[in-house]
Structure 1
Amino acid sequence: MKRPNIVFIVADDLGYADLGCYGGRDAEFGPVSPVLDGLAARGLKFTQGYSNSPVCSPTRFAMITGRYQYRLRGAAEEPIRSDRGSTTLGLPPEHPTLPSLLKDSGYRTALIGKWHLGYPPHFGPLKSGYEEFFGPLSGGVDYFTHCDSRGNHDLWHGEEERHEERYLTDLLTERAIDYLDRMAAQDAPFFLSLHYTAPHWPWETREDEGRAPQVKDNLFDLSGGNIHTYRRMVHHMDEGIGRIMSALERNGIDQDTLVVFTSDNGGERFSDSWPLVGGKMDLTEGGIRVPWIAHWPALIAPGGVSRQHCLTMDWSATMLDAAGVAADPAYALDGVSLLPVLRDAGHHFQRPMYWRMNHRGQQALREGDWKYLRVDGNDYLFDLSADERERANKARVEPERLLRLRAAWEAWNATMPPIPADATVSLGYSVKDMPQR
């Protein structure tokens, strides 16, 4: 089989039901995500796809390494803040990554969009396998000024600061199209990470440039936004993905390109996660179950739906497998290749999935239909086959199952480095700002 081109599209803080193909409702202007809905219909939709973490940078550590993020110090930050100059809080350049392994095998590699894995001079995309980079380094920037939460201008081309006067979602799309056009003229396969900042705060559509001065000192935008603005932001991203797909078709490379779409974690304030409960920073389903879509006409049959349980880091293993590239034996992958599932949507295999969070002492394990969850010292047990909303706690009626799953989680956790005492949790808001998340 010919080695595919790979386009890895990641949304930021997108809720499970923000897309129409996952049950999302239409907006006042019509369907929110017609392009992604069509991509799912022509490809494979996963209904049990999870992020490695309910917050940005930890998931991105897992996504780029194919390993549980807990193995790296920087991923203990929930998330990495906008402080610059740290020598420890970032992705070590010597660590093998998905782009570095692909590059070493002959792929061209680029990241267009959000990095959020540490700051120069010690860390950066060009130090970790990407040949090209355009985007912000921090966790969130204004869509028009491109400044981060501390007021630092944060838009880069390679390692040089770049000033552009465009809505960021559109700017990233246009850069990605330019990259695809250039790569189509070359013989080598390519790997493009397109990591949108949408629909992360601040709440700004293409028409909201006038809001930029208002949110300059409060990028969390606590007094702004609404569901209508939020849906527009998702729609802008969806339109951009439509342009990406058109560029692949125009260049005649769509059949041999694996396109993957997912989110780094569950939804934020205005997200829709129905029927799930919780959101960003939570290990309840709404914080970690996210949209997962794969499209690859040369391999994936249209209209497939998979209930395979999977984690973000599995995409790294899958993409390496599809490219015929072996992982570094000194850094064995925790992710599992989903290539058999891409070939046959009915293929299914059993595997446990583990999480932990410093925030609220959260820990979770999903094994089959059952989920063990611990929050604030309280143990919960849910049968997700009957109760995706995690409202019927079975801990009292299934004590043996609870003990077994808790012991399994503790055994797994013992194989991971402990959470450092100086690890930080950065919450942008609390119950003082809004009554319920």
Structure 2
Amino acid sequence: MRASTTGARRPNMVFIVADDLGYADLGCYGGRDGTFGPVSPELDRLAAQGLRLTQGYSNSPVCSPTRFALMTARYQYRLRGAAEEPIRTSTRGNDQLGLPPSHPTLPSLLRDAGYRTALMGKWHLGYPPHFSPLRSGYEEFFGPMSGGVDYFTHCGANGQHDLWFGEEEKSQPGYLTDLITDASVDFVDRMAEGARGDAPFFLSVHYTAPHWPWESRDDEAVSRELVENRQALYHLHGGNIDTYRRMIHHMDEGIGQIMRALERHGLAEDTLVVFTSDNGGERFSDNWPLVGGKMDLTEGGIRVPWIAHWPRVIAAGGESPQPCMTMDWSATLLALAGASAHPDYPWDGQSLEPLLRDAAFSAERPQFWRMNHRGQRAMRLGDWKYLRVDGIDYLFHLAADERERANLAKVFPDRLGAMITQWEAWNASMPAIPGDATVSLCFTEDDMPQR
């Protein structure tokens, strides 16, 4: 056990989110090496020196809804914009589909508590002029507003350029993963060199890797060819497993550069670094032993890596089966900062601060999900999971069946009935899914450029 955080200087915080990373894509989660060697040596090192969670979840199996939960520390279903799965490029200009600037957020509450705040990377929570990171608590922003962009041209699914400095859209050459890393390192350097005064900082690093289009740092020529073919650029075309793993490795290298910057300035000891993914993996991902992936409430769609590194507090080599969700980590960061929830927006997330001090910490509470796609619903309580897909109810004992193969609904009907009742009571406490809410894997024809 490490020292208590009580009375200590509030930590700097770096919250790193990968995009569509599978549960077992990293070496420290059992992932295979690439043709070039280990895929994730930097993240593997952070896990070895910190805490690795084996039963951590995203709030949703798709991009935007998880990011709503991350920003608000609340179930994303409370906001209209999160009913879109995900927010698409074609909604640009819509004044309803985004994170309302009036809603308290993780960065706004941290800013109000004295933190300097910045987001480097993907936003995907609505478009200017109605929504933007600068309107929701971030003092600085660099990155794309939409869900997925080409790594070299920085154009989205509709062919429109999408790279922003604050609320100004402008071009900058380079491979997007590297640009996000460079902006993050620059922010750390400036904070360490006096730009923050005595204030701690909160840096969100939201990589687009390894989200499609699958392009490594060496694929700029391929990118130029792909953008000429509007179908080949996106989700169902192109890529291969080696390119995918190289994309993860490029991100991993960037995380190493951020860590070196913290170390260079003597900040690593007192900086909490958290790493996760916004949802489960996609086409080339490794989710073993889980089944399913992005868009699914099976384990492969929502169980994701969670790594926490904070040498001052977190003991090295920790591993925990404590279930958690994205919004719990938001609540954790806010608790560490001494921030309080706005009375009109109480947090659904629960702080994991005791877990950071002691990897043996354990707490049980139900976790709930729902998804427009295929009428999915899920609940986890302890080792048990209730799942409904296409009108069929399933009951799984995850401790013995992580692959969700043995449906025990008829074996334990009373347990299933109790979990259904509990899920329905929770669902009744949430706003209903609007009838006009849409769901899309990544894009639809109206996102595509017209010719």
Give TM class, smaller chain: over 0.9
Q: How many residues align?
A: 430
What one-letter code is carried by the residue in structure 2 that aligns with 1:63?
L
What one-letter code is carried by the residue in structure 2 that aligns with 1:334?
D
- Counterpart-to-counterpart distance in 1, 2:421 and 2:339: 35
In the alignment, which residue of structure 2 is the partner of 1:195? 206
* 8 Å Cα contact 2:209/2:248 also seen in 1: yes
Structure 1 residue 28: Cα displacement: 1.3
In the alignment, which residue of structure 1 is the partner of 2:18? 11
Aligned residue among 83, 89, 113 for 1:82: 89
Aligned residue among 208, 211, 227 for 2:241: 227
Mean CA deviation greater in 205-214 or 360-369: 205-214
What one-letter code is carried by the residue in structure 1 that aligns with 2:350?
V
Structure 1 residue 289: Cα displacement: 0.2
* 8 Å Cα contact 1:215/1:221 also seen in 2: no
Q: CA-to-partner distance for each residue in 1:356-412, whole Å, 9 max, x for gaps?
A: 000000000000000000000000000000000000100111111111101110000
Structure 1 residue 185: Cα displacement: 2.1
Q: What SS does the aligned partner of 2:269 have?
A: coil
Q: Normalising to structure 2: TM-score of the pair?
A: 0.94
Aligned residue among 47, 50, 54 for 1:47: 54
In the alignment, which residue of structure 2 is the partner of 1:159? 167
In the alignment, which residue of structure 1 is the partner of 2:284? 270
Q: CA-to-partner distance for each residue in 1:283-326, whole Å, 9 max, x for gaps?
A: 00000000000001111011000111100001110001111111
* 8 Å Cα contact 2:98/2:125 also seen in 1: yes
What one-letter code is carried by the residue in structure 2 that aligns with 1:199?
P
- Counterpart-to-counterpart distance in 2, 1:337 and 1:188: 22
What one-letter code is carried by the residue in structure 2 that aligns with 1:144?
F
In the alignment, which residue of structure 1 is the partner of 2:118? 110
* 8 Å Cα contact 1:365/1:409 also seen in 2: yes
* 8 Å Cα contact 1:74/1:89 also seen in 2: yes
What one-letter code is carried by the residue in structure 1 that aligns with 2:88?
R
What one-letter code is carried by the residue in structure 2 that aligns with 1:299?
V
What one-letter code is carried by the residue in structure 2 that aligns with 1:37?
D
Aligned residue among 143, 150, 161 for 1:142: 150
Mean CA deviation greater in 139-148 or 220-229: 220-229
* 8 Å Cα contact 2:86/2:442 also seen in 1: no
- Counterpart-to-counterpart distance in 2, 1:130 and 1:405: 39
Structure 1 residue 137: Cα displacement: 0.1
2:37 equivalent to 1:30: yes
Q: CA-to-partner distance for each residue in 1:335-362, whole Å, 9 max, x for gaps?
A: 0000000000000001110000000000
What one-letter code is carried by the residue in structure 1 that aligns with 2:39?
V
Q: What SS does the aligned partner of 2:24 have?
A: coil
Show structure 2 runs of 5+ residues with no match. 1-7, 445-451
- Counterpart-to-counterpart distance in 1, 2:351 and 2:441: 33
Once the two structures are aligned, what percentage of the paired residues are identical? Answer: 73
Structure 1 residue 221: Cα displacement: 4.4
Structure 1 residue 169: Cα displacement: 0.3
* 8 Å Cα contact 2:157/2:443 also seen in 1: no
Moved over 6 A (4+): none
In the alignment, which residue of structure 2 is the partner of 1:343? 357
- Counterpart-to-counterpart distance in 2, 1:251 and 1:194: 19
In the alignment, which residue of structure 1 is the partner of 2:217? 206
Q: What SS does the aligned partner of 1:181 have?
A: helix
In the alignment, which residue of structure 1 is the partner of 2:410? 396
CA RMSD between the two structures: 1.0
Q: What SS does the aligned partner of 1:173 have?
A: helix
* 8 Å Cα contact 1:202/1:215 also seen in 2: no
In the alignment, which residue of structure 1 is the partner of 2:109? 101
Structure 1 residue 429: Cα displacement: 8.2
* 8 Å Cα contact 1:318/1:336 also seen in 2: yes
- Counterpart-to-counterpart distance in 2, 1:285 and 1:230: 21
* 8 Å Cα contact 1:364/1:374 also seen in 2: yes
2:27 equivalent to 1:20: yes
In the alignment, which residue of structure 1 is the partner of 2:423? 409
2:375 equivalent to 1:361: yes
Alignment of 1:321-336 (within 5 A): 321-336=335-350
Show structure 1 runs of 5+ residues with no match. 431-437
- Counterpart-to-counterpart distance in 1, 2:152 and 2:217: 9
Alignment of 1:379-390 (within 5 A): 379-390=393-404
In the alignment, which residue of structure 2 is the partner of 1:259? 273
In the alignment, which residue of structure 2 is the partner of 1:433? none
In the alignment, which residue of structure 1 is the partner of 2:179? 171
What one-letter code is carried by the residue in structure 1 that aligns with 2:78?
R
* 8 Å Cα contact 2:88/2:443 also seen in 1: no
- Counterpart-to-counterpart distance in 2, 1:212 and 1:32: 22
Structure 1 residue 115: Cα displacement: 0.1
- Counterpart-to-counterpart distance in 2, 1:13 and 1:221: 12
Structure 1 residue 101: Cα displacement: 0.4
